[in-house]
Amino acid sequence: MAIGGGNIYHAQFGKFFFLLILSTVFQVISLSLGQLKTPNNRPIIGVLSQEITNPLVKNKYSNYTSYIAASYVKFLEGAGARVVPIRINLSDDYYENIVNSVNGVLFPGGGINLEDSGYGKAGILIYNLASSLNNDGDYFPLWGTCLGFELMSYIVGGKRALTVCSALNEALPLQFYDGYLESRLFRNAPDDIVHLLRNKPMTANFHKFCVTEKSFVSSGLNEQFKILALSNDFKNESFISAMEAKDFPFYGVQFHPEKNSYEWNTNLHGIPHSAEATRVGQYFGEFFVNEARKNGHSFSSPEVEAQSLIYNYQAFPTASVDSSFEQCYFFK
């Protein structure tokens, strides 16, 4: 009886010791990736502004020089984050301070030249700062939508990464790439979301440039990113719809998940508004916000945080001035 009890004791102790080692290993792996042990349930995400290019909007809101479409703010807020606007044409110290205060950054879509715009210049600085943080073990996510996807491609691959295509005002399905289920972006996606993306036109496309499989390789993008999904444009030519960085939590989609729920211009027939499309759009917002929950940055004080949030700005109606956006935040 005593011998049997000893065996049971040793077996239980061995199991406990094994679980303790396993737990320690997972903690070490988590810390090595720079992720928090417990989620940050008050994530704040920076959204980069850009120059106003629409002539009618520019004329009506002539006191301002840059904007953020309100749909991006709602996209993130609806997934459980708060938003800080990131202004353009400011000092390097400003961008470094912002990146060290927020838990991730979103590069929105738009129609700006990436080479000489404030959006492009600030985006390059932020991308490099985020890369340095991740290299140092500080888990800091980036998300690029449409122009933001192109910005990431341009930063890594230069002009050769981008080619002309014609996926403008069109809803498209995704053609998933080999290995997509091993990706961070899709490995935990619900089966119905994957099914909808594969079989129905769930992604809103509004772009004149894209990245093809050929330019992805020839520009060297494949050294840092991996393709997750493709789509076909009006001419049935294939372009990359989704990608993620191999080593960093950087994600890019050529389509607009935020538009499914928050943009309503009747001329934009390429935006799906079904209940299914809403769930699809929300999936991407929730995924990125959950990535930001893994980061522990904070502002220097509650007062500075409060002064920095988007709540200090007004969202103006812009649909009436021939804008594709229902509302925009403007900045001086």
Catalytic residue among 146, 165, 210, 328: 146
Q: Which element (helix H / strand E) includes 121?
A: helix 118-135
CB 240 within 8 A of CB 175: no
Catalytic residue among 207, 256, 297, 328: 256
CB 168 within 8 A of CB 239: no
Burial label for 306, CB within 10 Å (0-12, 13-18, 19+), is exposed
Is 297 known to be catalytic?
A: no
Sign of the four-CA dihedral 323, 326, 331, 332: positive
181 contact partners, CB below 8 Å, separation of at least 6: 187
- Dump the DSSP string for 297-318: ---SSHHHHHHHSGGGSPEEE-
CB 86 within 8 A of CB 98: yes
Q: Which two tokens stand for residue 45?
A: 């995400």
Is 146 known to be catalytic?
A: yes
Residues assigned a catalytic role: 146, 256
